[in-house]
Amino acid sequence: MAQKPWEHAKASGSEADPLAARFVASLDVDKRLYRHDIRGSMAHARMLERVGLITTDDLAQIERGLGEIEAEIEAQGDDWPGWKVELEDVHMCVEAALIEKVGDAGRKLHTGRSRNDQVATDLVMWVREAADELHDLLTGLCDAFVVMADRNADVVMPAYTHLQRAQPIVAGSECLAWCCMFDSDRWYLHQCVLHMFASPLGSGAIAGSSLPLDPMLTAQALGFEQPPWNSIAFTATRDSALDFVYGCTTIAMHLSRWAEQWIIYASEEFGFIRLDDAFTTGSSMMPQKRNPDMLELLRGKAATPYGSLVALLTMCKGLTVGYNRDLQEDKRHVFAAYDCVKDCLQMATRIVSTSDFRPERIGERLHRGHLDATSLAEYLVTRGVPFRTSHQIVGRLVRKADELERFELRKLTLDEMRAECDVIDKDVYDWLGPENVVQRYRTIGNAGATGFAEQVKQWKQRLTAD
Ligand code: ARG
């Protein structure tokens, strides 16, 4: 094994010990950065030519060589012969292959650059793209929820707090609730991308360079607005990666909440949702089973991005101000979070697109649990009863309905109600029964008929606008 081309100051290189050689390498993980690395190198080379540090001929050779390397990697993937683990990482493999192809012009590519600003730049470029991709997948998922919502504008169902029956809602509103959560993830990722407006390239190893580099040129070529304004900070921060992985964790958290909800809804006990057979599995022993394994996995996979976030935060903690090799461990966590969440978002979108509510099952017990009790209390408020008092009165009426084994407030007679509160009139029945109640909500964003109609309209506009 040859000595590493950048370890000339030492009597022997880290390849002298096979474990050390493997230990220090990150190639297995970072080879997927090759496109970004080549793009960054192209921009760097063009800048070097513009400021006169390499000739036009050098640049032409570098561009040709890097172009060929990219095509080779595209075609050969992991089998590309340039992947040499003794070269440690994607950056050194690409550069070594370039030098093999074009000789001295290739040896000039690294002028004024360090792997420290190189890898920082590659990673930010990668994260920007990944965030855009997840953003688009989130849009697809939101779309699927809106379509499902639209199909269920007329289904009335119970809403739960503490998983106990609370108030009646339009079923589609619950789809829009998930849409809201995934939209806020979308918004967050968009903000992350906007925040990544500075390029680390030009920072060098830590202190910049005495050569007449023009980092603004490379920044613009790579789609950044600004060059690094502090060479020390820019070589050794992974804040953009952290922001991104945090975004992955909130997506995963929202997915796991939704998955849990639908696991419950798909149970025989609830029966609110029917899942497509493609997204359930059978049992090796019990022939009747339709287990919601995909949803369970969506719930369980949240562990991966959560772990990535904690790992990345822990890796960054306590690092002295410049580059430390600890930072090489960043990419495995960023990629793991992304891979996991990308898969999950695609899976979730398919499940939502193929599932539906089961109005007949929801309807079977819709009138149990006094979903209209709050509505009755609000009716009393409109009749001048202080809310705390009306709350007490309705509490007594609920008890009365249950004691009489009628279980529904609307099954009490007017006289029975008036015995508790004489301002009650026969129009009270318009405020009772889940179907009436969902027509009565009037606050902005409400989960009844008016709120649903307004929200669904806005979501359709909003999602097609992006
Ligand atoms: N593969 C390394 C990483 O990902 C490249 C940086 C090495 N820099 C150094 N100064 N040894 O961080």
5 CA to centre of ligand 1 in angstroms: 14
Count Cα atoms within 13 angstroms, Cβ side, for 75: 8
Does residue 16 carry a pLDDT above 90? no
pLDDT on residue 363: 98
Give tens-digit pLDDT for 134-154.
Answer: 999 999 999 999 999 999 999
pLDDT on residue 55: 98
The answer to whether 247 and 188 are in contact (CB under 8 A) is yes
Q: Which atom of ligand 1 is nearest to the CA of 89?
A: 1
Read off the tokens for 184: 């806020």
Of residues 17 and 47, more confidence is placed in 47
Contacts 24+ apart (CB under 8 A), 380-387: 380/421, 380/423, 380/424, 383/423, 383/424, 383/425, 384/423, 385/421, 385/423
Give tens-digit pLDDT for 36-88.
Answer: 999 999 999 999 999 999 999 999 999 999 999 999 999 999 999 999 999 99
451 CA to centre of ligand 1 in angstroms: 54
List the residue whose alpha carbon is closest to atom 5 of ligand 1.
115
Average pLDDT over all residues of the chain: 96
Reported pTM: 0.95
For range 223-243, the mean pLDDT: 97
Looking at the DSSP assignment, which residues form a beta bridge with residue 165? 160
Hey, which of 89, 237, 332, 335 would you mutate to test ligand 1's pocket, going by the most ligand atoms within 8 Å of its Cβ? 89
Lining residues, ligand 1, CB within 6 Å: 26, 30, 89, 115-116, 119, 323, 325, 327-328
67 CA to centre of ligand 1 in angstroms: 24
Give tens-digit pLDDT for 319-359.
Answer: 999 999 999 999 999 999 999 999 999 999 999 999 999 99
The answer to whether 121 and 199 are in contact (CB under 8 A) is yes
Determine how many CB atoms are found less than 10 A away from the CB of residue 89: 23
Give tens-digit pLDDT for 271-290.
Answer: 999 999 999 988 888 888 88
Percent of the chain with pLDDT over 70: 99
* 283 in active site: yes
The answer to whether 147 and 351 are in contact (CB under 8 A) is no
pLDDT on residue 2: 55
Which residue among 12, 162, 210, 284 is the active-site one?
A: 162
Hey, which of 116, 125, 335 would you mutate to test ligand 1's pocket, going by the most ligand atoms within 8 Å of its Cβ? 116
For range 116-142, the mean pLDDT: 98
Hey, which of 122, 328, 333 would you mutate to test ligand 1's pocket, going by the most ligand atoms within 8 Å of its Cβ? 328
Q: Which atom of ligand 1 is nearest to the CA of 327?
A: 12
Does residue 167 carry a pLDDT above 90? yes
119 CA to centre of ligand 1 in angstroms: 7
Contacts of 1 (CB under 8 A, 6+ apart): 15, 21, 86
CA distance 428 to 410: 9
List the residue whose alpha carbon is closest to atom 7 of ligand 1.
115
Give residue for tokens 């992955």: 248
Q: Which of 108, 335, 377, 102 is nearest to 241 (CA)?
A: 335
Domain with CATH 1.10.275.10 in the chain: 14-111
116 CA to centre of ligand 1 in angstroms: 6
Alpha-carbon distances, residue 237 vs 14, 39, 282, 312, 338 (angstroms): 26, 21, 48, 11, 19
Domain with CATH 1.20.200.10 in the chain: 116-159+169-364
* 162 in active site: yes
pLDDT on residue 15: 72
Q: How remote is the C-alpha of 398 from its chain's centroid?
A: 43
List the residue whose alpha carbon is closest to atom 11 of ligand 1.
325
Count Cα atoms within 13 angstroms, Cβ side, for 223: 14
Phi, psi (5° rounding) for residue 156? -100, 135
Does residue 10 carry a pLDDT above 80? no
Please state which CATH number belongs to domain 116-159+169-364.
Answer: 1.20.200.10
Give tens-digit pLDDT for 364-416.
Answer: 999 999 999 999 999 999 999 999 999 999 999 999 999 999 999 999 999 99
Select 14-111's CATH number: 3.40.50.920, 1.10.3720.10, 1.10.275.10, 1.10.1520.10: 1.10.275.10
CA distance 15 to 1: 7
For range 196-202, the mean pLDDT: 98
